Structure 1
Amino acid sequence: MTKPNLLFIMLDQLRYDCIGYSCAYPVQTPNIDRLAAEGLWFEHTFTPIPTCCPARQAFISGRRPETFGALWNFKNGLPVTALESSEYAWPRELSKHAYRRVHLGKWDVHPKHTPLEYGYDEYVGFAGYHEMIAHKYPDVKWEAGYAGEASPIPLADAQTHWLAERACETIRRLSADTQSEPWYIQLNFTEPHLPCRPSEPFASMYAAADIPPWGGFGDTFADKPYIQKQQLLSWQVQDYTWDDWAPIAARYYAVISQADDAIGRVLQALEASGAADNTMIVFTADHGDMCGSHGMMDKHYILYDDVVRVPLIVKYAPITGQGGEKRGGFVCNMLDLPPTILELLELPVPEFFPGRSLLPLLRGETADGWRSEAVTTYNGQQFGLYTQRMLRTERWKYIWNTTDVDELYDLEQDPYELTNRIHDPDCRELIQQYRLRLYERLTAEGDSLVNSEWMRNQLVHNAISDGR
C-alpha cells in the first residue's frame, strides 16, 4: 500500500465558531468550508491546554504538557519549561518509511532547539520574512498594540501569503518526482493570533457595525473567580463596550478570512501537483481566543469554550470517503492526532500516549468505549501562576480552580457559560461525580498535580471550600 502524504495545517488562536462551516458567526472561510465539506468535521474537539507553546509541545510529544514540565509559554519572563530535544517526538518515527519531513512557520516547541532536532529534515521559520519586510517596507510602524490595525503591506507580501507560497513551493518540489518518498508538511500559521493586522482587501471586508456580540459578552462575573474580573483591569479594557470591541473582532474576522485565502492557495497547489488524492489533510488550531467574549482579551486564566474548543477537519478519501459528514465523540486534537498518524502508517504507538487513534471515527466505525468528555488544563502566565483543570461533557463543564472558587456550567441551559452553578445545592452530587472523574483522568494521564494527598483530597473526598 502506498503511504499517504501528510499535510497538517494549524492556525494560531482560532475559535471553533469562527469557521463559516460552523454556522455560528458570519466569518467567511470558503476554502476551509470546502475542506470540511469534502472531509470530516469533528464537533467536539478540545485543546489539551489553551496556551501556544505547551499545546504545540503536546502535539510533537503526544503527551500532556504537564507530564514533561511544559506549563506555560516560554516568552513571558517565567522559568523556561519546554520539551527537550532528547524527549520522544513522533515525527522522528516517520523516517522508518523514508518520509520527507518539513516544518513551515510557527514553532514554539523550544526557545533554542529547532524542528531539525525533533525529527524534521527541513525548517523554514519567519526570519526570511522579517528580513524581506525590513528591506521592502522599512517605514511601516505599528501603533495600535494588541487591538490590531489595518496593514499597509500588500496582500502578496503579507505573512499569511508569504508562508503559503513557501508551502506551495515545497509541495511542488516534493511532488515533482512521482517515484520520490512520501512527505509530511507541518504548516503552522501565526494567524489569527492578536494583534490582528489584515491587509486589503480583507482589512475592509467586515464593518464593525455588522459584527454581532459574542454570546458570552456582558458577563457580570457573579460568583466567579477573582482573576476573571481582574483580567479586564490588567488589560485596561474594563470600560469597553461592544462599540469598542466590535472593530477588534472585525479585524479578527478579517485575518481569519485572509488566512483562509492563503490556505486556498496551498490547496490549489496540492491539486495542481497531482498529489491531492494521496494526501491526508488535517486542519486544526492550537486553541481559541476571547476577543471580547466575557469582556476579555487573549486566552489566559479561563477555560471557556471560546479558548478550549477548536476546529478539526480531516480529509483523506481512502478512509473518510466523500466526506461532508460530522463526527461526534470528544477529541483532544494534540493528543489524538499523533496515535492516529502512527497507526495509519503501521508504526508503533507508544504505550505512554494518553490519546487514542481517530481511525475508527474516520472510518465511521463504532468506537467502543470512546470518551464522552474532554480534559483541559492551565497553569498560569503573564499575570501570575494559576492552576486550573477542566472536565467537560456534552451538557456540563466543571472547572477545578485550585486557589479560588470552582466553576460549573450547564451548557444546555447556559451555552455561553455566564452562570456559575457551583453553589447550587441541586448540583452537589453531580459536582462530586465530576471531581472524582477528573481525578481519575488526571491520574491516568500522568498529571502530577493530583499526586499529593492534599490535592487528592479535594477531588476524591470533595474537600473544597465553597468560596463563601
Structure 2
Amino acid sequence: MTRKAKNILFIMFDQLRYDYLSCTGHPSLNTPHLDALAGKGVRFSHCYVQSPICGASRMSFYTGRYVHSHGAAWNNFPLKVGEVTLGDHLRERGMDSWLIGKTHMSVDQAGMDRLGISRDGVIGARVAECGFDVFLRDDGLWGEGPQGFYDKRRSPYNEYLKGQGYEAENPWQQNANAGVDEDGGVASGWFLRHADKPANIKEEDSETPWLTGQAIEFIKTQDANSAGPWMCHLSYIKPHWPYIVPAPYHDMYTAENVLPVVRSDGELQNPHPVYEQFMQNEIGQTFSKPGVREKVIPAYMGLIKQADDQMGRLFNWLDENGHMEDTMIVVTSDHGDYLGDHWMGEKDLFHDPSVRVPLIIYDPSQEADTTRGTVCSALVESIDLAATFVDLAGGDVPDHIIEGRSLLPFLHGQNPEAWREYVVSEYDYSATPEAAALGLDPKQARLFMLADKDWKFIFADGGFRPLLFDLKNDPKELNDLGADLGHAEVINMFMKRLSEWARRPSQRTTVSNDTLLKKRDGSAADVGIFIGVYDERELPYDVIEKTIRRR
C-alpha cells in the first residue's frame, strides 16, 4: 500500500523548552512517546519562534508571517482583518482547518465592524478565530480577581469540570490549578511555594487529558462523516504556569532532578539596560531566590511527563485506527521558559531557553522513509510550518504572503536550494512595566534578534547598544559582547542583515512575484496606451490600427 500523508495533526504545547525532552538531551526527564515520534520522523534541533511571547508567536505560526508583517506584536494585540491565515490557505487547497485548544487570538472587532462582518456567519467566525473552524477553543487562563475574569469568554473546561461534579464556582482555579493546604484550604498554583503539592483534581480530569480526549472525539467525528482531508491544531495549555500538576506526576521528580542553573554573576555586572529591567521584574527576582527552582521545576517536569503520557494515549489510538498511515504529526511549542536561567523567569527575551523550541515532524509518506530518526540542524523558523502544510496540501506556496519555507524537502531527504543564513525573532515590549521604567515611547520599545550558528545579535531600538553572543565559544550565552569594540565588524554584518530583512516587500500581499514577472512581458501598446512615441509610423499597423482608424 502506498503511504501518503492526507491529514495534519499540528500539536503545540505552551511554554515547553526545547531541551526538556529526553530526545533533546534532558538526563532525567523521560519522554518515550515523543522520543518514539522523533524516531519515526525528523527532529529539527535549531527551530526558533518569531517572538518569545504567546500571542505574537502564535500569530506568526498561524499566518506564516513575521511579527513585523502581521502586526499582532504582543498578547491580546488583535490580528487585523485581512491577514490571510493558515486556514484560508488550506481551504483553498481542499483541506479543512480545525482548532482544539488555545490560540491566544484577539479579534479585530473594530475592523470587522467597519466592514460589516458578523461573527454569526461562517466567514465572520473564521475571521474571529484566526482562520480556524472551532471544534473547541479554550485558552486555559481562567484566572479571576477583584475585577472579574482575565478571559471574558465562556470556559468550556470549567463547564466540563462542573459536569464531572466539581462544585467550585471556578474549578479551573480552585481544582485543576490548586492543591489543598494543611488546613484544607485552597493552595493556589499561582503561588510558587505550592508547586510541589498535587493539584486537587483527578488526573484524568486535568487539562492535558481532557484536550487529548477532545482530539480523539474530533477525529472520530471526521471519520464518521467521511470528511475530506483535515488539519487539526491541537493546542495544549500546559506546561505553561500555574506550575502545579495532579498526582502521580507531582512527586515523580525532585530537587535532585533539577539541572544546574545557567547564569553567572558576570551577567549582573553592567548589564544591557533592557536586559537589566527584565532581570529585575518580579518573576526574575523570584526565580533568583534560593529554593524556588527546586520547588517549581519538578512540577514543570511532571507537567511534561503527563503530556508525554497523553501523547502515548493519542498515538496508540491513531495507530489502532489507521491514522498513523495517513496523518502528518507535528509537535512544537510557542516559546520556552527561562526557569531561572540568566536570572530570568517566564520568557520575553532571546536566550535559547526562551526563543528556541522543540520541533518534531513525522510524515508517514514513503518519500520520508530515508530520513526517519534523523536530526536536522538547519536554521528553522516557526513560520516554516505554514509553508510546509500548504506544500503538503498541494500547489505552490504563495511566497509573497507566507514568509516561511516548506520543510518537506528536509523530510524527504533533499537539500533545499539556498536555505536561510539566519533566523529572526522580534519582541514589542511597549505595553510592559519595563518599557515604562526605561522611559520609552511605545514606538521605541522593540527588540529584534538575528541569529546564525555562530552568533546571536539583538538590536534594541530606543538608542541602546546591541547585544551580541558568540555561540561557538559561549554556547550558554553568558557573555554579552555588544559593547566590545573588537566585535564591530560582526555587529555591522548583522546591522546590514537587519536592514536587508526590514526592506523585504512584506506588505505586498495582493500581487505575487509571478504576476509581476508576467507584467514585464506585456506591452501597454497592446491595450492602446502609447507613452513617449513621437511618430505612429514607427509602430506596426496592427498595433495602432484601432487607435488611428476613423470609426
TM-score where L is the length of structure 1: 0.87
Matched, 1:16 2:18: yes
- Deviation track 1:102-153 (CA, whole Å, cap 9, x = no partner) reads 2100021225779633443333023221123345333534524253633121
Counterpart residue identity of residue 116, structure 1: R
Unaligned stretches of 5+ in structure 1? 75-80, 449-468
Counterpart residue identity of residue 92, structure 1: D
Matched, 1:383 2:428: no
CA distance in 1, matches of 2:351, 2:284: 19
Residue 256 of structure 1, aligned match among 289, 300, 304: 304
Change (3 A) 1:54 1:237: closer
1:323-362 counterparts in 2 under 5 A?
323-333=372-382, 335-350=383-398, 351-362=400-411
Q: How far apart are 1:398 and its partner, in Å?
A: 0.9
Instruction: Report the counterpart of residue 208 of structure 2 in structure 1.
Output: 160
Change (3 A) 1:236 1:277: closer
Matched, 1:124 2:133: no
Q: Name the SS for the 1:145 alignment partner.
A: coil
Q: Name the SS for the 1:444 alignment partner.
A: coil
- Deviation track 1:442-463 (CA, whole Å, cap 9, x = no partner) reads 3226499xxxxxxxxxxxxxxx
Instruction: Report the counterpart of residue 190 of structure 2 in structure 1.
Output: 145
Instruction: Report the counterpart of residue 436 of structure 1 in structure 2.
Output: 496
Q: Name the SS for the 1:123 alignment partner.
A: strand
Change (3 A) 1:98 1:430: closer
Matched, 1:425 2:485: yes
1:76-87 counterparts in 2 under 5 A?
81-87=77-83
Structure of larger gyration radius:
2
CA distance in 1, matches of 2:7, 2:433: 42
1:117-266 counterparts in 2 under 5 A?
117=127, 118-126=130-138, 127-134=155-162, 136-139=165-168, 140=174, 141-145=186-190, 147=192, 149=195, 150-176=198-224, 180-216=227-263, 220-235=267-282, 238=285, 240-266=288-314
Conserved? CA contact 1:171–1:269, under 8 Å: no
Counterpart residue identity of residue 340, structure 1: T
- Deviation track 1:197-242 (CA, whole Å, cap 9, x = no partner) reads 2111111111023312233365633342223333344216537345
CA distance in 1, matches of 2:215, 2:264: 37
Conserved? CA contact 1:101–1:120, under 8 Å: yes
Conserved? CA contact 1:16–1:311, under 8 Å: yes
1:48-127 counterparts in 2 under 5 A?
48-74=50-76, 81-111=77-107, 116-117=126-127, 118-126=130-138, 127=155
Unaligned stretches of 5+ in structure 2? 110-118, 139-154, 169-173, 175-185, 436-444, 509-551
Percent sequence identity over aligned pairs? 29
Conserved? CA contact 1:160–1:258, under 8 Å: yes
- Deviation track 1:346-384 (CA, whole Å, cap 9, x = no partner) reads 234222322111122111212221013111110114324
Q: Cα RMSD over matched residues? A: 2.4
1:248-287 counterparts in 2 under 5 A?
248-287=296-335
CA distance in 1, matches of 2:471, 2:215: 40
Residue 401 of structure 1, aligned match among 460, 475, 490: 460
Instruction: Report the counterpart of residue 369 of structure 1 in structure 2.
Output: 418
Q: How far apart are 1:401 and its partner, in Å?
A: 1.3
Change (3 A) 1:131 1:310: same
Change (3 A) 1:421 1:346: same
CA distance in 1, matches of 2:234, 2:326: 18
CA distance in 1, matches of 2:159, 2:255: 33
Change (3 A) 1:423 1:121: closer
Q: How many residues align?
A: 439
Q: How far apart are 1:434 and its partner, in Å?
A: 1.4
Higher mean C-alpha deviation, range 242-251 or range 136-145: 136-145
Change (3 A) 1:357 1:98: closer
Change (3 A) 1:400 1:25: farther
CA distance in 1, matches of 2:347, 2:264: 15
Instruction: Report the counterpart of residue 455 of structure 1 in structure 2.
Output: none
Matched, 1:307 2:354: yes
- Deviation track 1:239-272 (CA, whole Å, cap 9, x = no partner) reads 7345222211111111111111122222122112
Conserved? CA contact 2:368–2:411, under 8 Å: yes
TM-score where L is the length of structure 2: 0.75
Conserved? CA contact 2:258–2:293, under 8 Å: no
CA distance in 1, matches of 2:191, 2:501: 36
Change (3 A) 1:93 1:434: closer
CA distance in 1, matches of 2:27, 2:346: 18
Counterpart residue identity of residue 390, structure 1: M
CA distance in 1, matches of 2:395, 2:493: 37
Instruction: Report the counterpart of residue 458 of structure 1 in structure 2.
Output: none
Counterpart residue identity of residue 184, structure 1: M
Higher mean C-alpha deviation, range 95-104 or range 395-404: 95-104
